Structure 1
Amino acid sequence: MLAKYSCVTFSVFCKVMICMAIFLPLLNVYAQDFAFSGNRTKQSIPFKCIKNLIVIPLFVNGKGPYDFVLDTGVGPLIITEPSIIDSLNFSSMRKIKLSGLGVENVDAYVSQNVSAQLGSAKIKYIPTAVLKEGLFNLSGHLGIKIFGLVGFDFFNSFIVDIRYSSNHLIFHDLKRKVKYRGSKVPIIIEKNKPYIATEVVINDTVRVKTRLLIDTGASHALSMDMLDGGAFPAPNLKIKANLGMSLSGQIKGHVGRISKFYIGKYVFDNVVAGFPNFESISKKIDLTNRNGNLGGEILRKFDVQFNYQEGFLYLKPNSNSRKAFQHDMLGMVVYLEQNEFKRVLIGEIDEDSPAERAGFCPQDEIIAIDFKSIDSYTLNDISELFKSWPNRTLIFEIYRDKHVFFKLVRLEKRI
């Protein structure tokens, strides 16, 4: 049982391995595109934005809808809950071994007989990876049942307009004339993933050109992984942090602030970024074609229009663009336990954080915060509460070892 989850970032680590080049040739034989039926050329559907991630209702093999994460960081459809496919015979499916960041020799299965539908858009024989077991607790992290991830095949089939300002997804037939909004920025599609050229300033002085993976499946703003074959230089002011959790253990590193971040004609100050331990991740994943990734905390500051076919996107700032970047001021992650998704438990706790000094422990159950039952909060509410403002005092009611007690902790701006 996977009992701990991403603390600073939620970039679904399983996708790193599933989308390996060795996997793609197995799935492209019968690949088609999403397409509207009849005369429809455009559709708008609402989505849920949870911890900066886009959750959409997807039908699989005619059943559903099931909640999937819309993720530019994945190639094939990834199903994390195989129970949604009737009569799935794993013995007749091609098995592959996943290995990479945090995963060693985990079984996944290739299916060429899955259909999917989003709104009125359908696809047959979508390239699909099926995990035999729910190894990555996406549902526990987001607070709702998540059944998988969908990415490249959808984005490659349409002009996709993500309206973070109104939580709506608008997708257009590629032949339809579309009115673009905002500023045009070129992107490059490589191995079914989008990359963008940006620049960052470190410690107010050093300006660096960067190539980043655009990753709607990551909660964070930035993850800076590599520069010139080595670790990306972290700022002088930084804190140790658990950047994620996977089957083989913690993904450790630091969190700090990038002085300035340039994307297209836009610039952001004091952007929170993760700096994972280079020695650990470089042995697991190929970093040669990127310096890091750009996640939802920045993307949600815009309404974004993707055109994979022509290699560009449009960025139009929305009301989120004026909000400052805040880091978790408590220093711990919370999640829903996997059985009934009702109990809120504490996972990883950052070293020398307010949470550690207050005496919280992994596996503590949170019953109430500020005398309000935990049932009145979503996980998204709790995440925002932990980033609210420095010196705010929170009162936790905790259940541990058959005892209930209270803890007071003061939020602290750590970077």
Structure 2
Amino acid sequence: MDNFKKTWINLLLAVACFLPLFGQGDFNLPQKKSDKIKFKLVGNLIVIPVELNGVELSFILDSGVSKPILFNITNTDSLQIKNVEKIFLRGLGEGGQPVEALKSRKNFFKLGNALNINQDIYVVFDNSINFTSRLGVNVHGIIGYDIFKSFVVEINYISKYIKLHEPELYTYKSCRKCETFDLSLYNNKPYIEAEVEVDKGSIPVKLLIDTGSSDALWLFEDHDIGLKPFENRYFDDFIGKGLSGNVYGKRSKVKSFKLKSFELDNVNVAFPDSSSISTARLIKNRNGSMSGELLKRFNLIFDYKRAKLVLKKNGNFKASFYYNRSGIILEQTGSRIVKEKEDRGLTGYGNRGGEGTQIDLNTYYRFALKPFYSIVELRPNSAAASVGLKVGDIVVSVNGKQSHNLKLQQIMEYFKNDVGKLIRLKIDRDGELLSFQFRLEDVFNQKKLPK
């Protein structure tokens, strides 16, 4: 038999060996026990590199979604989506209206060395669903359950990597500083039991573990069991964006949050409006969500097959919880051409006919396409609103730094600074350059929470 025939027979045998592995639409690690993938942590969200049908994309790893959703297909002309049918998805947001989408079957999905050759994905074409503008980095979709069901998933928030382990080959290490929790799965989403102290006494709560939300804690108001904001110790705010629109509610604090021996004090909490969470309230006994601002304080091991979650405190554990004290929510609303100064220094020298030495210091300018950030939400009666800032204003500079040289999350960090910190903004309003300044204020109007 010649070499050509031998090569083809070997290839066919290799494919035949892997066919049983990929037959159920699960992810697999061919000939590997585990795989490590680096991620970016953007606004407390895990952004992972993926390959969909041969095209490199970025997805949020979201334990709160049961279906992978593709919502940003701009500049991905080479992406082929096939085997489609029209469906409707429903998520969080005002009104809870369903969103039209396409369900696509038999897609090739690659995460690190993990492969799935039979992946369903849901494609949403509504531009308002695109979360890229709110994060300031290009994100094309979200995926959760399909990863978590296939592997033991280790998340290291400090070193910024996830590690995927084949469940049958994974062995737990002894860990005296860890806590292990029972997971309950409902609609392919993980839930955990915790305790919160809002006013008086601890209240047991059942929480969705949601790596796809940047907040710390969401609680659903239930006055019968004591889940409600402190009276006069909260403020109304925009608290998130879901598939069905924006989510608004009240922001406050809980006195303590407990996960067995782990306890955190003075934790940020949001109480979303009931109209925005009608679908979430359908889950029996669910009291809210535990999300990125809390989760990043631990290193985690998700094990869906054994219904277990392991938590270990990391270096973020004792970090304080901060609120946006400005009242401004920014969005990357596009790009524009910016004229930038480029100093090339000494470009030449010489002797000018006995008149001395001539030195040429030339300044050049270059034009570059840079992002710009606009105010898209402005909390009424906030520090920023009180000085005349408006929705639609474009932020040109923050405390003397040009905004186009900053990432969106860097600008937002300015607004979480200490009470009394001076914020100076240059604003482009309909082509007119305006200056504003204000001081960050206590969002609870200088009133302390009950002890």
Bucket of the pairwise TM-score, normalised by the shorter protein = 0.7 to 0.9
The question of 1:308 aligning with 2:337 is answered no
Q: TM-score, normalised by structure 2?
A: 0.79
Alignment partner of 1:144 out of 118, 131, 137: 137
Question: 1:139-183 deviations in whole A, cap 9, x for unaligned?
Answer: 101111111011001011111111001111111111232436522
| Aligned-residue offset at 1:94 | 1.5
* Percent identity between the two aligned chains: 29
Alpha-carbon distance in 1 for matches of 2:47, 2:411: 18
Structure with higher Rg: it is 2
For residue 371 of structure 2, give the secondary structure of its aligned residue in structure 1: coil
- In structure 2, the residue matched to 1:391 is 420
Do the aligned residues in 1 keep the contact of 2:383 with 2:440 (CA within 8 Å)?
A: yes
Q: Which among 37, 40, 43 is matched to residue 48 of structure 1? A: 40
Q: Can you give the 5+ residue segments of structure 2 that lack an aligned partner in the other structure? A: 1-22, 337-369, 445-451
Indicate the structure whose relative CO is greater, using CA pairs within 8 Å and at least 6 residues apart: 1
Residues 190 and 301 of structure 1: CA distance in aligned 2, closer, same or farther (over 3 Å): same
1:116 matched to 2:109: yes
Q: Which amino acid aligns with 1:120?
A: N
Cα 1:56–1:377 change in 2 (3 A) is same
Structure-2 residue corresponding to 1:412: 441
> More displaced, 146-155 or 94-103?
94-103
Q: SS at the partner of 1:113?
A: strand
Q: Which deviates the most, 273-282 or 71-80?
A: 273-282
Are 1:76 and 1:126, in contact at CA under 8 Å, matched by a contact in 2? no
2:195–2:259 Cα contact (<8 Å) kept? yes
In the alignment, the residues of structure 2 paired with residue 37 and residue 288 of structure 1 have an alpha-carbon distance, to the nearest angstrom, of 39
Tell me the number of residue pairs that the alignment of Structure 1 and Structure 2 aligns.
382
Residue ranges of structure 1 left out of the alignment (5+ in a row)? 1-29
Cα displacement (A) at 1:285:
5.3
Contact 1:226 1:287 survives alignment (8 Å)? no
| Shift in Å, 1:215 | 0.2
How far 1:70 moved relative to its partner? 0.4
Shift of 1:305: 1.0
1:157 aligns with 2:163: no
Q: In structure 2, do the counterparts of structure 1 residues 356 and 198 end up closer, same or farther at CA, with 3 Å as the change threshold? A: same
Q: TM-score, normalised by structure 1?
A: 0.86
The counterpart of 1:270, out of the listed 260, 266, 269, is 266
RMSD: 2.3
Distance 1:230 1:244, change over 3 A: farther
Distance in 2 separating the partners of 1:246 and 1:154: 21
What secondary structure is seen at the aligned counterpart in 2 of 1:127? strand
Distance 1:212 1:140, change over 3 A: same
- Which amino acid letter does the alignment assign opposite residue 60 of structure 1? L
Spell out the pairing of 1:282-361 with structure 2 (5 A cutoff): 282=278, 286-338=282-334, 342-361=371-390
Say if 1:184 and 1:264, in contact at 8 Å, map to a contact too.
no
**Matches of 1:121 and 1:249 in 2, distance apart?**
33
Alignment partner of 2:173 out of 179, 187, 193: 179
Superposition map of 1:209-224 within 5 A: 209-224=204-219
Moved more, 368-377 or 101-110: 101-110
What is the DSSP-based 3-state SS (H/G/I as helix, E as strand, rest coil) of the residue aligned with 2:419? Answer: coil
Q: Hey, what's the Cα distance between the residues in 2 that align with 1:335 and 1:52?
A: 16
